[in-house]
């Protein structure tokens, strides 16, 4: 049986690709802070790692690419999905 990854493939270099990548993490319940190392993220109830070693490799390479191409805009895109996950509508969204 093939070992399938739960994380999205490495994104392209465009802003659209970055947005889609974070959207997929959000949709799959795998969204995390881009400042956190995937290797350090654990399931709260069990303390078990959230991501496999291979998933961590894909996530780290993806974030490296995104930060290289987009700098701090990565945080803005990720924050939009954190707001969505928390049911928050920022005040500036209605301005």
Closest CA to 10 of 49, 71, 57: 57
Given the structure tokens 């093939």, which residue do they identify?
A: 2
Strand, coil or helix: 24: helix
Distance CA(81)–CA(34), nearest Å, equals 12
> What is the average pLDDT value for the chain, to the nearest integer?
92
Is a pLDDT exceeding 80 seen at residue 95?
Answer: no
Give the model confidence (pLDDT) of 24-57 as tens digits: 999 999 999 999 999 999 999 999 999 999 999 9
Output the pLDDT for position 1: 38
Q: What's the full length of the chain, in residues?
A: 95
Band the pLDDT of 90: cuts 50, 70, 90: confident
């Amino acid at each position: 049986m093939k070992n399938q990854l739960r994380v999205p493939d490495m994104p392209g270099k465009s802003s659209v690709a970055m947005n889609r990548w974070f959207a997929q993490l959000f949709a799959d319940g795998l969204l995390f802070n881009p400042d956190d190392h995937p290797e350090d993220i654990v399931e709260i109830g069990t303390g078990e790692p959230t991501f496999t070693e291979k998933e961590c490799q894909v996530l780290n390479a993806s974030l490296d690419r995104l930060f290289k191409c987009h700098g701090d805009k990565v945080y803005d895109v990720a924050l939009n999905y954190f707001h969505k996950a928390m049911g928050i509508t920022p005040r500036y969204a209605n301005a």
